[in-house]
Structure 1
Amino acid sequence: MTIRNNKGGFTLIELLIAMAISTVVMTAIYSAYRSQLKSHITQQKVVEMQQNARAAMFVMEREIKMSGYDPDRSQDTEITVADNNTITFTVSAISDGIDNDGDGDIDTADSDGGEVQTITYSLGGQDLQRNGAVVAENIQVLDFIYLDENRNLLGPTPLDTDNRDLIRSIQITLIARSGENVAVMMMKHTDNKTYNNQQGDALLVNPNDSFRRVILTADVKCRNLGLN
């Protein structure tokens, strides 16, 4: 009887080598996947932060621009509070979507049923608030600078009545950050920047944390102030 040697199999050493190569390949694939995932999550958080801040600034800028609006000069519309992170102003309502005088028509600002609206923007914790309702979350800094018709700085804040009557433009600075907590899967980052307002005053100095931040500024001309 003839016994044949089967040489078609793998030796133990060959199997171990194959397993080692597979482990290296799988580790590389996982590392690449994890890196891509971190990059995606980071970009997603940054985009959300930017959109949140821009939407908040757009709404705030649009309404502050209307401060003192009173088309028929019949209402005492003005800025009533002018502090460094709080502003309160009144406008003759553009339209609140309500038939205030009961004539069957939605009232506009120049109708008899038009109301005077009081609007306050302030920072509550990490939330930008409009009349106490949250407009945007994760807003770390809100800063207002008040200027007269010659672009001179008005102060100190809060402004008194005489200085409030001189306001013709307002510089707004808003600093938002990427969430309440830093996501575990975000790319590593340390924020050592200094954030200034448009006058060069430091609002946030070297936070030394892992949050991403965006700073937005606006220079709002209050075209209705000084007309009454």
Structure 2
Amino acid sequence: MIGELLGIGRTADVYALDDGRVLRRYRDGSDTAGELAVMTHLARHDYPVAAAWPGTAPGELVMERLAGPTLREALASGTTGPEEAGELLADLLRRLHAVPARHSADPAHRILHLDFHPENVMLAPRGPVVIDWATADEGEPGLDVAMSALILAQAAVTMPAVAELARALLVPFLRRLEPPTAGQLERVRAIRAANPTLTEAETAGLGQALELIRAAL
């Protein structure tokens, strides 16, 4: 039975279930089959994702209920510092990009998260777990690095409540990874600009965010 509402995201709501699991329900009814397939593939390669099962409707996904704070919450409380968080994010991306693609014949292509940031890392008792695979795709690993950097930089220039933390995290994150190319940064800027869930201020801040990334590099 569906229980209390646990969280509201930009595209989906998460409800408690009475069996220790949660229900992720997309408000537009988006089919979760692809997301489930990616998570299953990653789990087979020992990547830290939540256990997941199909829901009763195309727009639903059932997952294990994870305990613990998000990495963003740990940063905000001071239990995790920017250097440690940057190292953790970089390590999780490196591990992700070691997993082979499911469909692409290009040997350089890997699974990409494309929405990888501190809110999508849960610090569970068993270790960090990466959540929210709705935007997952396959392609050049540098695109994932570029997108994460852009999300952090965008938060630094458009979200006063988290700006200081996002700015402090950007440099240690980028320092531990191969830097994205100018072309990759422009590609993710276009993807981000087309995202209908962004606010007008967030979209307007993309140019300033790219400047911040270039300065960090």
TM-score by length of 2: 0.25
Kindly indicate which of the two structures has a greater share of residues assigned to helix.
Answer: 2
More strand per residue: 1 or 2? 1
Larger radius of gyration: 1
TM-score (structure 1 length as normaliser): 0.24
Q: Name which structure has the greater RCO, CA cutoff 8 Å, separation 6+.
A: 1
